[in-house]
């Protein structure tokens, strides 16, 4: 029974990470629509999808509790700004042919999360983790030298999502409830902006191509569906397994950028990515060894 649940978890995890991996193709189809407008539609339609889902799944009490608790609401208000910024920069990166740089950001993200755990939560970084962070730093510094400026998109995506994960861990709400509250906090501003655009005749929704209307509507659904799958997968899988699966998304972004969109990938880019990939391999190998040690260690005397 446990193996069956774990197998379901792997399938769900693969599904949501592959789903996220193809996000560049979806948002590339909306590249002609201003990034801020796409973001506002994503917020509004996400709430339109998530709120009924939260109510139908019996989360009304959780929603009320999150809105009434000042500490939780403050954490979610802050995480709202981080995830909105993350979404906006990603949409902008796709529209301006910088999918490769966005993939770099999501490759770095696990290492940023480990660093934040050490700095903020006091989690001790082991030597392999420290070396992995040094290699990632070397990769970013090399890319800075290669480009002539820091890879701001990659850094912003990695840091904003790392901070978002840190805050959401402190908020102690489930993924659907948390995202429902976050989109509800942003929705009035997003809706006001879209209404102003519509009144001025400048919005893409209902005034542009028919395909745009459908894609903008679907932006909410594609935000919520993989999140639901991830929540179900996380309940069935070890955190280490999820850690390995998460590399699927930036790997697909990388392949899409180079193979499908023919974004330039020079020797300098290869060196930067190779340093970061080496750091990730070291980080992952350390996590795997620790998992094996934990499962093979004999139980303590007196434990049941």
Over the stretch 96-118, which tens digit does the pLDDT of each residue have?
999 999 999 988 888 888 788 77
pLDDT confidence of residue 288: 73
Query: Concatenated DSSP letters for 106-155?
Result: HHHHHHHHHHHHHHHS-PPPPHHHHHHHHHHHHHHHHHHHHHTS--HHHH
3-state SS, residue 238: coil
Taking CA atoms, 291 is separated from 235, 284, 296, in Å, by: 18, 11, 9
* In a domain? residue 73: yes
Q: Which one is predicted more confidently, 156 or 245?
A: 156
* In a domain? residue 296: no
- Contact between 88 and 113 under an 8 Å Cβ cutoff? The reply is no
* In a domain? residue 299: no
Segments forming the whole domain that contains residue 239: 2-289
* In a domain? residue 101: yes
Report pLDDT digits (tens) over 152-200: 999 999 999 889 888 888 888 888 898 999 999 999 999 999 999 888 7
* H runs (alpha helix) in the chain: 2-21, 23-28, 35-56, 60-68, 70-95, 99-120, 127-147, 152-171, 175-199, 210-234, 239-245, 248-255, 267-296
pLDDT confidence of residue 302: 40
Report pLDDT digits (tens) over 266-281: 898 899 889 989 988 8
Q: Which two tokens stand for residue 252?
A: 């697909």
Report the domain count for the chain. Answer: 1
3-state SS, residue 29: coil
**Cβ atoms within 10 Å of 278's Cβ, excluding its own:** 16
* In a domain? residue 298: no
pTM equals 0.87
Taking CA atoms, 95 is separated from 70, 103, 161, 261, in Å, by: 37, 14, 20, 11
Report pLDDT digits (tens) over 43-63: 999 999 999 999 998 999 999
Q: Which one is predicted more confidently, 248 or 238?
A: 248
Taking CA atoms, 147 is separated from 106, 137, 197, 270, in Å, by: 19, 15, 36, 13
Q: How far apart are CA 157 and CA 68, in angstroms?
A: 30
* In a domain? residue 295: no
* In a domain? residue 239: yes
DSSP code, position 182: H
* In a domain? residue 60: yes
């Amino acid at each position: 029974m446990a193996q069956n649940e774990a197998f379901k978890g792997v399938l769900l995890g693969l599904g949501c990470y592959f789903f996220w991996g193809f996000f560049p193709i979806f948002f590339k189809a909306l590249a002609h629509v201003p990034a801020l407008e796409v973001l506002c539609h994503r917020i509004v339609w996400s709430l339109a999808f998530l709120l009924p889902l939260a109510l139908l799944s019996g989360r009304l009490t959780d929603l009320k509790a999150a809105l009434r608790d000042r500490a939780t609401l403050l954490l979610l208000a802050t995480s709202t700004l981080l995830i909105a910024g993350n979404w906006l920069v990603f949409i902008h990166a796709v529209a301006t042919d910088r999918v490769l740089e966005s993939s770099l950001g999501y490759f770095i993200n696990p290492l940023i999360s480990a660093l934040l755990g050490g700095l903020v939560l006091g989690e001790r970084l082991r030597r392999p983790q420290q070396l992995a962070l040094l290699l990632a730093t070397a990769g970013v510094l090399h890319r800075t030298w290669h480009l002539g400026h820091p890879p701001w998109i990659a850094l912003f995506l990695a840091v904003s999502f790392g901070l978002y994960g840190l805050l959401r861990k402190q908020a102690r709400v489930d993924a659907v409830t948390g995202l429902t509250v976050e989109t509800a906090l942003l929705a009035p501003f997003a809706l006001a902006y879209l209404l102003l655009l519509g009144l001025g005749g400048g919005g893409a929704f209902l005034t542009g191509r028919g395909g745009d209307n459908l894609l903008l509507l679907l932006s909410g659904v594609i935000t919520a569906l993989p999140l639901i799958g991830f929540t179900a997968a996380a309940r069935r899988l070890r955190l280490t397994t999820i850690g390995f699966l998460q590399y699927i998304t930036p790997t697909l972004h990388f392949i899409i950028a180079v193979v499908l969109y023919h974004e330039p990938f020079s020797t300098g880019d290869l060196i930067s990515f190779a340093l970061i990939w080496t750091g990730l391999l070291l980080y992952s190998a350390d996590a795997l060894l620790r998992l094996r040690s934990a499962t093979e260690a004999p139980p303590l005397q007196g434990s049941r």
